[in-house]
Structure formats: C-alpha cells, structure tokens
Copies of this chain bind each other. A is one copy, B any other.
C-alpha cells in the first residue's frame, strides 16, 4: 500500500467512523424513516453530500450501522461446553449482556426497532447463523439438564428470558429513568445485574456464584 493510499484512507476511515457514530445516534433516536441524511450530516459536522460520498444511500448507511451493531453480539457463552458449570456460564452471560446494555444502549435500540418492524434488513445469512447459535446453546443447556447439573427447563424460554430482561435496560432506559427518578449509573447496573442473575439462577434451581450474590442488609 502506498503512502498516498494510507493517508487518504485514514481521512476516509476517520470520516466514516464519525458518520457511523452520528448515524447510530440518529437512527436509535428516531428510527430509519425518521432520520434524515441531513440530520446525520449535521450531527457529524459534515455537508450532506459528503455523507453520501461515503455511503451512497441512506439504506447503505443504515446497513453499515446495523452490521457494526452485530459484531457486539458475541460473548463467552458462544464457547460454553457440556463440561462447564451452568451457574457460572449463565451468570457471566447475563453480566455480559447487561454490560452491553450499559455501554451500547444505542445498538440495542436499533436492533430492537429492526426486529419490531419485522427485521426487513436482516438477511438470511443472519437468520441462519442465529438459528445455528440457538441450536448449539439449546443442546448444551439440555445436556446440562440431562446430566443433572440443573433443573429441567425449556432452554428456549430461558434464553428468551435472559435477552428480554437484559436488553430491557437499554431499550427502555427512558422509562426506567423516569420511574426511578434518576438515570442508572454504573453501580445501579451492577446491582441490577446481581438481581437478574439471582432471579434467573434461582429460577433454574442453580446456586448463585459468590460474586453475584446480593448483600442483604
């Protein structure tokens, strides 16, 4: 790669990143239709045409944002095996998902709206990969159950429950803030995580690992 290309690319890469950040914010706050390219441009501090220079269409920009979002979804639970301890794996998974809700609420919101609106931009590839992931996780949880490591429960419902309850803290943050009277801080998330882990693990008849135990005053 020539020096020229390198430098030019770095300008491009920086602008792309700026635009993606601005777009994420706008799309999360107003959805795809509700966001204008002009708004993204303003947020990014660039002329609209410059945004369209990097991303030919609004759709392409949105897809780029969505794709970046997806890369966040990976977790240690992807690599769980039959030999792992269910309590620890599930607790860590919940904690990871909560940390994502805390640090990347916009990504969660965009994903949520995409699904609510019928997932028109998630292709078959995503569907298949997601289904495979699900199948794998279901079978591992089932083997934990059949080896007596945890109470019988349909793993599908368990996983849905974990997603729902963790993503809720990102997607419904406004409601939560208004009901609590204050925004959730890092410490509040830590507390909420313990509660979620406790609820879920007790729910499956598992012991809560030390570090997730709620201190009773």
Residues of A with Cβ closer than 8 Å to B? 28-34, 109, 112-113, 115-119, 127, 130-131, 134, 152-154, 156-158, 160-161, 163-165, 167-169, 171-172, 174-176, 178-181, 191-192, 195-196, 198-200, 202-205, 214, 216
Whether the pair A199, B195 counts as a contact (CB closer than 8 A) is no
Whether the pair B203, A205 counts as a contact (CB closer than 8 A) is no
Shortest Cβ gap from A160 to chain B (Å) = 6
Chain B residues with CB below 8 A from A198, complex form = 153, 203
Chain B residues with CB below 8 A from A117, complex form = 29-31, 34
Shortest Cβ gap from A44 to chain B (Å) = 20
18 contacts between A and B (CB under 8 A): A29-B117, A30-B33, A31-B113, A33-B33, A112-B172, A116-B174, A119-B175, A130-B178, A131-B181, A154-B191, A160-B176, A161-B195, A163-B172, A164-B165, A165-B165, A199-B203, A202-B203, A202-B204
Chain B residues with CB below 8 A from A153, complex form = 195, 198-199, 214
Shortest Cβ gap from A164 to chain B (Å) = 3
Shortest Cβ gap from A146 to chain B (Å) = 12
Shortest Cβ gap from A152 to chain B (Å) = 6
Chain B residues with CB below 8 A from A204, complex form = 199, 202
Q: Chain B residue with minimal CB distance to A163?
A: B168
Whether the pair B172, A168 counts as a contact (CB closer than 8 A) is no
Bound complex: CA A120 to CA B23 (Å):
20
Shortest Cβ gap from A211 to chain B (Å) = 18
Whether the pair A160, B154 counts as a contact (CB closer than 8 A) is no
Chain B residues with CB below 8 A from A178, complex form = 119, 127, 130-131
Q: Chain B residue with minimal CB distance to A167?
A: B164
Whether the pair A199, B161 counts as a contact (CB closer than 8 A) is yes
B33, B156, B205: the one within 8 Å of A179 (CB): B156
Shortest Cβ gap from A48 to chain B (Å) = 18
Whether the pair B158, A199 counts as a contact (CB closer than 8 A) is yes
Assuming the contacts A112-B112, A199-B200, A199-B204, asked whether A157 and B192 have C-beta atoms less than 8 A apart, the reply is yes
